[in-house]
Amino acid sequence: MIYKATHHFFLYPFFKRYAVWKIRRNFHDVYIKGEFHEKNLPVLLISNHLSWWDGFWAMYLNIRLFHRKFYFMMLEDQLKKHMFFNKTGGYSIKKGSKSIIETIDYTSSLLTDNKNMVLLFPQGEIQSLYTQPIRFEDGIGYVMKKITCDIQIIFLVTLIDFFSHPKPGLFLYFEEYQGSDFTTKTLQEEYNRFYVHCIPQNFRKKES
């Protein structure tokens, strides 16, 4: 049995405001680059996983661009330690358990509602932003097999750099996946292509 997400009438709006406040307090600036074309479809946001900040960054992007109800998958042991997140859109996955099937089914059901956005970290664990290539676990492919309606798949690459500032800058690069192959292998290859494309753009920020 999994922990399904809820959106508490007070805690969820508080989390949204807190995410914006915390990012503005801890980063000297936020750079968002990409084009989002509203299609009135559910959004699947596929992101790299480099720190505990990732959920806050995705929430910030959702507030700025997508305007969907926010859902995100968390490891069950981490969600149990921070049940606050269960009331702000977090739901559980337990690796090596039969409940993974329930989590996959639940994820695909969330992506039938065009008011929803689901954040996934296919790496399955936090890894350094210098880890290349990024390797996806098989779960993303199983989720895609279960989805029977149209969705927008958005790749998100999050990077941070200090350059000459005492606080880091936050860089959020995104693009919509336009392909028709939804296997883990192809999504991984296309995500890595985009990831490699984003890194030189960050270097150019330093020169500007």
Domain membership of residue 3 (yes or no) is no
Give SS3 for 149: coil
Distance from C-alpha of 171 to C-alpha of 67, rounded to nearest angstrom? 20
Q: What is the mean pLDDT of residues 108-129?
A: 94
In a domain, 33, yes or no: yes
**Is 120 a domain residue?**
yes
142-198: pLDDT as tens digits: 999 999 999 999 999 999 998 888 999 999 999 999 999 999 999 999 999 999 999
**pLDDT mean over 118-135:** 91
Per-residue pLDDT, 198: 93
- The verdict on residue 4 lying in a domain is no
pTM above 0.75, yes or no: yes
Average pLDDT, the chain: 94
Please give the pLDDT value at position 128.
86
C-alpha to C-alpha distance for 166 and 54, rounded to whole angstroms? 21
**Is the CB of residue 174 less than 8 Å from the CB of residue 154?**
yes
44-76 pLDDT, tens digit each: 999 999 999 999 999 999 999 999 999 999 999
CA pair distance 94, 78, nearest whole angstrom: 10
Lowest mean pLDDT among 30-34, 102-106, 123-127, 142-146: 123-127
Residue 1 lies in a domain: no
Dihedral sign, Cα of residue 141, residue 170, residue 62, residue 34: negative
Could you give the number of structural domains in the chain? 1
Contacts 24+ apart (CB under 8 A), 60-64: 60/19, 60/20, 60/23, 60/30, 60/172, 61/32, 61/156, 61/172, 61/174, 62/117, 63/16, 63/19, 63/20, 64/32
Cα(153)–Cα(83) distance, rounded to whole angstroms?
Answer: 28
State the CB neighbour count (10 A cutoff) for residue 51.
15
**Structural domain of residue 107, as residue ranges?**
11-207
d(CA 172, CA 196): 14
Strand 43-47 and strand 152-161: the pairing is parallel
Evaluate whether 173 touches 34 at the Cβ level (below 8 Å): yes
Residue 116 lies in a domain: yes
Confidence of residue 208 (pLDDT cuts 50, 70, 90): very low
